[in-house]
Amino acid sequence: MSNIGSYEERVKNFEWSIAEKELGYEPGGDINIGWYCTDRICQMGKASKMAILWEGLGGVEKKYTYNDLRLRTNTMASFLIGLGVNQGDRVCLFMDKVPELYIGVLSVLKMGAVAQPLFSAFGDESLFIRLENAGTSAIITQRKHVGKVRQILDKLPGLKNIIIIDHDGKKELKERETVFAMDSAVQVEHFDVAKTKAESPSVLHYTSGTTGQPKGVKHVHYSLISQYLTTKWVLDMQEDDIYWCTADPGWVTGTSYGIIGGFATGATNCILDTGFSAESWYRFIQKYKVTMWYSAPTAIRSLMKAGDELVKQFDLSSLRHLASVGEPLNAEAVIWSEKVFGKAFHDTYWQTETGSMMIVNVPGLKIKPGSMGKPFPGITATVLDENTYEPVSGPNKPGLIAFRPGWPAMMRTYWNNEETYQKKFKNGWYLSGDKAFLDQDNYFWFIGRDDDVINTGGHLVSPFEVESALLEHEAVAESAVVAKPDEVNMEVVKAFVVLNEGFEPGDMLELQIMNFIRKKLSPLAMPQEIEYLDKLPKTRSGKIMRRLLHAKEWGHDIGDVSTLEDD
């Protein structure tokens, strides 16, 4: 029997207080995510239960019980306070998927600071933009990544502490640097957990928009209510589950469900820090007897590409429930997973801004391959007409996916950007920026983004950010960036470039420009193709018409070109 029971019954009788009661939270009282994910589980008699099963390169393993988690978060939180980190300060976690990243997020929350997880693949420019915007006061990182921090340190006077978790003592520490060795530090048995309230800030995640710099999405400790209940009902988390969320905590899924949901429900959480290969993933599932697997369509399509025969070489019979997030899960992937695993991936839809799952395929609800599913109980979702912002009438009519504000994990603002935050709301609805239609059974079907943001492998990339970085390359005079179709990632970054005089198109230059972006921003933002043009299509007022370039890539009708400047 699944946790959710009958979807219809749950919708009819739903109140968020269901989660509050299960967690023992009294409205108005203290609520600290760090405590709920560690101390509370120990108080429930599960101190010796395995919390983390971690594997790194070369098969290196580490294991931590919930009591280990409690002690290490106490120790790390005490260390941060000792450095002068205060409640409300932003603490960035800039690491690979090592145990310190997961334990670090909970430690930061436990002492009342704001956790700011960022992808370790980010280049120094991407890192700088996000640290400066957040006014980050401390960063926890590794030797292999500290060089990027050092490069931008002189521009970040407010960044007082750089904490290195794996310093080997061979090289001298630089300005503002300090060392914290989690496993060898003297463990702190008792720690006064910060008395955070429902609206106290918890996590700051950065997401890319169409224009301007990335936006800091501010979440609060009350988000736990949504994250806990969706983990329990949608991921169907059971007492003895071995749970693997493949997402990096630099992405909201890796925090909301790879950390908060997994630990708050007391599950055993598996972490693989070796990059992607179909063989290593299957071996990992077999070795740790993974039962609940939450992954992304890009990974699933890559597994499909590796072929059905490979699956047969492993014993994956432990798998009980599969779910997916990040981008549309195509029908073929659902049908394939049923064929090779004997179970369908259950697609889920939500965003950095929503903080928790919104439209879902819950266990027991009939799956329509290719559909996003139905709203989670307690979530009011609809498709709005793009002109009136009223719900569309009748099935199969495209419009904007929208939600009634007020669920616990909803973002509270964009950091230092309230004006942009307010634009996300129209006519009493939160606008997701995505398009869909409803079928006759009220299932949601994804159509695409309502803006130019590129969704590559579930990660949003801002065309503006890539274009700005391209212009910093000496060869580039003008640039325009659009999405290009891709078999595995759905879409990837393509750049159109006008060169400065004295530069000639060629493979070597293309490689140089690609690497320039990869180092400056991230591998995800790197163009997979560069096309050289004599000039970019522009309106008479000089605005680049990305729409034309996008239409050309996707084979769409280019539409009205009356505003295009004359040749």
Outline where 50-165 has alpha helix (H). 66-82, 99-110, 124-134, 143-152
Burial of residue 536, with CB atoms counted within 10 A of its CB: 0-12 exposed, 13-18 middle, 19 or more buried: middle
For residues 332 and 200, membership in a common domain is answered with yes
- By the 8 A CB rule, do 221 and 109 touch? yes
Taking Cα atoms as reference points, which of 321, 200, 325 lies closest to residue 256? 325
Lowest mean pLDDT among 84-98, 254-268, 384-398: 384-398
CB within 8 Å of 267: residues ≥ 6 apart:
237, 241, 242, 243, 292
According to the model, what pLDDT value does residue 543 have? 65
Edge to edge, the sheet with strand 321-324 lists 61-65, 50-55, 268-272, 242-245, 292-295, 321-324, 345-349, 359-360, 374-375
Which helix or strand (DSSP H or E) is residue 1 part of? Answer: none
70 near 38, Cβ under 8 Å?
yes
Query: Do 38 and 121 belong to one domain?
Result: yes
Q: Give me the pLDDT at residue 87, please.
A: 98
Residue 561 lies in a domain: no
Q: State which H helix or E strand residue 530 sits in.
A: strand 529-532
Expressed as residue numbers, the domain containing 52 is 7-381
Same domain, 377 and 524: no
CA distance linking residue 160 with residue 156, whole number of Å: 9
Rounded CA-CA distance 255/114 in Å is 13
The b/e string for 339-348 (b: 16+ C-beta within 10 A; e otherwise) is ebbeebbbbb
Residue 471 and residue 325 in one domain: no
3-state percent helix, strand, coil for the chain, nearest multiple of 5: 30, 25, 45
Q: Answer yes or no: is 409 within a domain.
A: no
Q: Are residues 157 and 61 in the same domain?
A: yes
Region 506-521 average pLDDT: 93
**Residue 447, pLDDT score:** 82
378 in the Ramachandran plot: left (φ > 0), alpha (ψ -120 to 50) or beta? left
Residue 53 lies in a domain: yes
Residues 143 and 21 in one domain: yes
488 with 466: CB under 8 angstroms?
Answer: no
The Cα 224–Cα 264 span in angstroms is 8
Could you tell me if 217 and 72 lie in one domain?
Answer: yes
133 and 241 assigned to the same domain: yes
Q: Residue 65: its pLDDT value, please? A: 98
Q: According to the model, what pLDDT value does residue 559 have?
A: 61
Q: Are 47 and 64 in contact (CB under 8 A)?
A: no
The whole-number average pLDDT for the span 189-195 is 98
Closest of 246, 255, 259, 521 to residue 411, by C-alpha: 255
Domain boundary among 345, 364, 381: 381
* Burial (0-12, 13-18, 19+ Cβ within 10 Å), 112: buried
Instruction: Select the more confidently predicted residue: 82 or 276.
Output: 82
439 within a domain of the structure (yes/no): no
Length reported for the chain: 567
Q: Do 55 and 145 fall into the same domain?
A: yes
Crossing angle of helices 297-306 and 331-341, in 10° steps, is 60
Cα dihedral sign for 534, 537, 539, 545? Answer: negative
Band of pLDDT at residue 567, cut at 50, 70 and 90: very low
Query: What is the pLDDT at residue 564?
Result: 56
- Is 396 domain-assigned? no
- Whether 560 is in a domain gets the answer no
Are 245 and 254 in contact by the 8 Å Cβ rule? The answer is yes
471 shares its domain with 368: no
Encode pLDDT of 19-52 as tens digits.
999 999 999 999 999 999 999 999 999 999 999 9
Checking if the pLDDT of 326 tops 70, the result is yes
User: Residue 287 sits in a domain of what CATH number?
Assistant: 3.40.50.12780
Q: Which of 167, 172, 182, 159 lies closest to 106, judged by CA?
A: 182
Q: What are phi and psi of 169, to 5 degrees?
A: 80, 0
- Secondary structure of residue 289 in the 3-state scheme: coil
Q: How confident is the model at residue 504 (pLDDT cuts 50, 70, 90)?
A: very high
Domain boundary among 350, 381, 412: 381
Averaged over 137-148, what is the pLDDT? 97
Mean pLDDT score, 197-223: 90
**Phi, psi (deg, nearest 5) at residue 81:** -60, -40
Which of these, 263, 297, 267, 299, lies nearest to 282 by C-alpha position? 299
pLDDT at 548: 86
What is the pLDDT of the chain when averaged over all its residues? 93
List the CATH number of the domain containing 503.
3.30.300.30
Per the CB < 8 A criterion, the answer to whether 123 and 148 are in contact is yes
User: Is the pLDDT assigned to residue 150 strictly greater than 80?
Assistant: yes
Does the pLDDT at position 563 exceed 50? no
Q: Does 455 score more than 90 pLDDT?
A: no
For residue 204, what is the DSSP state? E
Cα distance between residue 434 and residue 354, in whole Å = 13
One domain for residues 26 and 175 = yes
Query: Of 256, 263, 249, nearest to 117 (Cα)?
Result: 249
**Which has the closest alpha carbon to 384: 403, 405, 404, 399?**
399
User: What percent of the chain has pLDDT above 90?
Assistant: 78
410 found inside a domain: no
Give, in degrees to the nearest 5, the angle at Cα 424 between 451 and 348: 70
Residue 432 lies in a domain: no
What is the pLDDT at residue 539?
A: 66
Asked if 274 contacts 54 with a C-beta cutoff of 8 angstroms, the reply is no
381, 403, 420 - which closes a domain: 381
Tens-digit pLDDT profile for residues 267-290 = 999 999 998 899 999 999 999 999
What is the rounded average pLDDT of the residues 217-241?
Answer: 97
Give the confidence band of 562 by pLDDT, cuts at 50, 70, 90: very low
- According to the model, what pLDDT value does residue 561 have? 52
Higher pLDDT, 323 or 547: 323
Residue 187 has pLDDT above 90, yes or no: yes
| pLDDT tens digits along 341-370 | 999 999 999 999 999 999 999 999 999 999
C-beta atoms surrounding 404 within 10 Å: 13
Question: Does residue 461 share a domain with residue 359?
Answer: no
Q: Phi and psi for 82 in degrees, rounded to 5?
A: -60, -30
* Number of structural domains found in the chain: 2
